[in-house]
Amino acid sequence: MSRTERLLELLQILRRHRNPVPGHALAQELGISMRTFYRDIATLQAQGADIEGEPGMGYVMRPGFTLPPLMFSVEELEALVLGSRWVARRADDPSLGSAAANALAKIAAVLPGELRREVEAATLLVGPRTQPVDLVDARLIRDAIRQEHKLAITYGETARTIWPFAIGFFDHVRIVVAWCELRNDFRHFRTDRITAIKAVDERYPRRRAALLKEWRQTQGIPPDSGP
């Protein structure tokens, strides 16, 4: 591994963690000495990466430092292409597919010619699937999640007020994960079984991140390791 590759890998590792990580653990993951690790940290800080920490305290990188898109590996680009194609075919709203394609186009526009050709020639395809037909506009659900607002829905024949905080996309169904005021508990609602929906101009009393964390615990799902 070259020094440039090692520095990029160190950045990627730091970006995966929200809390300080001991220096020896980072050095061990990279397979380098502590002396080399300290030198790499100093180099990244000099280049503008907002890395805080010191020996014995651990290291964490604050948000705001962006890697140049041209540093993506071929595998990372393939993942981006596959993801955008999946969204285009499986999302609940065509605008999401367009957004994914636009984001990929922005990345491709600043890639070197060789990597841009890899994006254009990507051969990982997403096959067609029969999607459930929603009776309501799913954009209202996504808007409520972003704004942390309540929704009034009719699910089957039951009227409920829910606190939506996540949507699960599966091959044949989409699931809204929410706190249900009627049941006073977490509940899962298929979008194709919601027969009516109305935005409620009222924030729910908890942050969606806290709800998601508690829901993961109740489902036995490990905490998300992503950013």
Nearest CA-CA partner of 213 in 173, 180, 179, 183 = 179
Range of the domain at 97: 69-120
- Of 61, 86, 104, which residue sits at a domain end? 61
Per-residue burial over 169-205, b if 16 or more Cβ lie within 10 Å, else e, is eeeeebebbbbbeeeeebbebebbebeebeeeeeebe
* Residue 226 maps to a domain: no
* Residue 84 maps to a domain: yes
The pLDDT score that the predictor gives to residue 129 is 66
The upper half-sphere exposure of residue 13, i.e. CA atoms within 13 Å in the direction of its Cβ, equals: 19
d(CA 227, CA 223): 11
159 with 180, same domain? yes
The pLDDT score that the predictor gives to residue 225 is 44
pTM for this one?
0.60
* Residue 50 maps to a domain: yes
Residue 56 CA from chain centroid, whole number: 31
Query: How many structural domains comprise the chain?
Result: 3
pLDDT in tens, the chain (227 residues): 678 778 888 988 888 888 899 999 999 999 999 999 999 999 988 878 889 988 888 999 887 665 554 567 778 888 888 888 888 777 666 777 788 888 888 777 767 777 778 788 878 878 776 666 788 888 899 999 999 999 999 998 999 999 999 999 887 888 999 999 999 999 999 999 999 999 999 999 999 999 999 999 999 887 654 43
Q: Residue 173's domain is classified under what CATH number?
A: 2.30.30
* Residue 132 maps to a domain: no
167 with 213, same domain? yes
76 with 53, same domain? no
